[in-house]
Amino acid sequence: MSTKTINIDEKLYEYLLNNSLREPELLKKLREETALMPSGLMQISPEQGQFMGLLVRLIGIRRILEIGVFTGYSSLAMALALPEDGTIIACDISEEYTRTARKYWKEANVDARIQLKIGPATDTLQELSQDDKLEPFDLVFIDADKGNYSNYYEAGLSLLRKGGLILVDNVLWSGKVADPDNQEEDTVAIREFNQKLHQDDRIDLSLLPIGDGLTFARKR
């Protein structure tokens, strides 16, 4: 028993995966292909993807806004959990990486549920905010350039329904956020973002050590 979250070493992590992970073969194939890429570490962990899919089913989510797609693992994990009329608007700046995402979305027969918008996410979010006919989102997932996390959060919150959920990835940043001597630009940005959300009374908040740290923010 423990009064705080236990440390997970490689042996325990392997146990966790062996006794919990139910990763569809196509997701596994995408994860393994992405791992061979130079930026493969940008991909979320498989247990995080499974947990996000569970949240989609648990809360009955139908509309998702994803900010940061990379090769599409998170969007595919969530799309597979959506109901037939569910949709994802996915924002990314890279044609190269999202080419892989689109290949796997199509192979999984969920490509019709995902609307990919290529370009700076700040521009896409501004366009969405100006669409009077846009239905509010149930879930927003942020996993993109860290310096813009606060901007993405504010835009996502405005597009989210009351009671909706914002998920934010990489909020523990390999533990660097807890080191006051680390003043790297991305580390400082995430540290300030975490402090901002801690003081934000517009949301209910929880930060959990899933993957590289995952923030849950429920819009009040």
pLDDT surpassing 80 at residue 14: yes
pLDDT on residue 111 = 97
% residues pLDDT > 90 (the chain): 99
85-128 pLDDT, tens per residue? 999 999 999 999 999 999 999 999 999 999 999 999 999 999 99
pLDDT on residue 2 = 81
pLDDT on residue 1 = 74
Q: Averaged over 162-182, what is the pLDDT?
A: 98
Q: Averaged over 128-137, what is the pLDDT?
A: 96
Three-class DSSP labels, the chain: CCCCCCCCCHHHHHHHHHCCCCCCHHHHHHHHHHHCCCCHHHCCCHHHHHHHHHHHHHHCCCEEEEECCCCCHHHHHHHCCCCCCCEEEEEECCHHHHHHHHHHHHHCCCHHHEEEEECCHHHHHHHHHCCCCCCCEEEEEECCCHHHHHHHHHHHHHHEEEEEEEEEECCCHHHHHHCCCCCCHHHHHHHHHHHHHHCCCCEEEEEECCCCCEEEEEEC
pTM here?
0.97
pLDDT surpassing 80 at residue 49: yes
Domains parsed from the chain with CATH numbers: 10-219 (3.40.50.150)
Q: Averaged over 46-54, what is the pLDDT?
A: 98
